[in-house]
Amino acid sequence: MLAGGKGTRLRPLTIHTPKPIVPIFNRPFLHYQLDLLKQVAEIDEVILSLNYQPRRIEEIFGDGSEAGLSIRYVVEPAPLGTGGAIRYASESLGESVVVFNGDVLTEVDLAAVIRLHRERKAKATIVLTPVENPTAYGLVETDAQGNVTRFLEKPNPDEITCDTINAGIYVLEPDTFDRIPKDTPWSIERSFFPSLIERGETFVAYVYRGYWIDIGTPEKYMQVHRDIMDGRYHAAPFSGESQRAFVSPLARVEEGAHIEGPCFIDDGAVIKTGARIGPHAVIGRQCHVEEHASVERSIVWANCRIGQDAVVRRSILGRHCHIGHNAVLDADAVLGDKSVVTDYTRL
């Protein structure tokens, strides 16, 4: 699992929280990925390839026993890029390796991907998924037999020839890793994959049309919460119950507060009289939403205080933020941990 990036596009959220553990509701993101890997009997160990704030991640997952998987950590001395990280983390491995970008959420059938890889005796198998705009991804062209014929990372708009992109999930044969130089930053997308095509190696595509998202930008981070609340991706506590207002039994919602589903209110949160929560609001642990404040289509991390009559719309708040009374946040604001917005401020 490649989980060593700096998460720059999610800043300021990722200043103190590396991307693999940003919360989705009340669970660090990686948990959702581990749930998928756990379903594949053949996967007996997960290696987390880390660089940015590795200790924070290790503290959460430990040896993996709680998550139900064996987890090992490989920390690069300096960022080696996606290709360099794969080589560095796979040094002692002789078997086929499943590589997963640490920021994608999907329901792809990994066992079927591994099966295809074996059947085709491929050197590499890559999962592709269709998107509307491939410019933020790796564009991948294939032929009629499902072989990869071209890989173009972050294409310009005039270079778009198809809608299938690299979903960030591969099965690779380690005997190809000697093409990645040792201890040198190297990109799997820009160098390794194009080199496989150039040499005519068996490089196979598995096209997946189900749920897939890369959570690496504030828009997508918001969207994944919406998708779960609306039932487009099945995860607790919303599985099969879209439009649900989930209120933790350990939260306190005062009489006269208005809760509109779908929304999520975590342990220890206090919602005061006249406050409005939802739709599509996530209120983190121990947050206080004061009288007549309103939060909708927003994600609020733990320990924030939203003052009286304040309005928070279409925004993301890091931990321990303080929004003064009558303040209005209404423009895709993304606030880092401990931000203070003074009374009556408009953002």
Q: Which residues bind ligand GDD (CB under 6 A)?
A: 2-5, 19, 49-51, 76, 79-82, 85, 101-104, 137-138, 153, 165-166, 168, 189, 214, 216
**What is the SS3 assignment for the chain?**
CECCCCCHHHCCHHHCCCHHHCEECCEEHHHHHHHHHHCCCCCCCEEEEECCCHHHHHHHHCCCCCCCCCEEEEECCCCCHHHHHHHHHCCCCCCCEEEEECCEEECCCHHHHHHHHHHCCCCEEEEEEECCCHHHCEEEEECCCCEEEEEEECCCHHHCCCCEEEEEEEEECHHHHHHCCCCCCCCHHHHHHHHHHHCCCCEEEEECCCCEEECCCHHHHHHHHHHHHCCCCCCCCCCCCCCCEEECCCCEECCCCEECCCEEECCCCEECCCCEECCCEEECCCCEECCCCEEECEEECCCCEECCCCEEECCEECCCCEECCCCEECCCCEECCCCEECCCCEC
Stretch that binds Mg ion, among 64-72, 209-217, 284-292, 302-310 (CB under 5 A): 209-217
State the minimum distance, in angstroms, from the CB of residue 268 to ligand GDD.
31
Binder of residue 315, out of Mg ion, ligand GDD, none (CB less than 5 to 8 A by kind): none
Nearer to ligand GDD, 257 or 316 (CB): 316
Binder of residue 266, out of Mg ion, ligand GDD, none (CB less than 5 to 8 A by kind): none
Stretch that binds Mg ion, among 36-44, 170-178, 213-221, 226-234 (CB under 5 A): 213-221
Annotate each residue in 86-105 with x if it binds Mg ion (CB under 5 A) or - if it does not, as one string. -----------------x--
Stretch that binds Mg ion, among 202-210, 214-222, 258-266, 308-316 (CB under 5 A): 214-222
Residue 189 in contact with Mg ion, rule: CB under 5 A: no
Counting residues that bind Mg ion (by CB under 5 A) gives: 3
Binder of residue 129, out of ligand GDD, Mg ion, none (CB less than 5 to 8 A by kind): none
Residue 76 in contact with Mg ion, rule: CB under 5 A: no
Binder of residue 114, out of ligand GDD, Mg ion, none (CB less than 5 to 8 A by kind): none
Interface residues with Mg ion (CB under 5 A) are 103, 214, 216
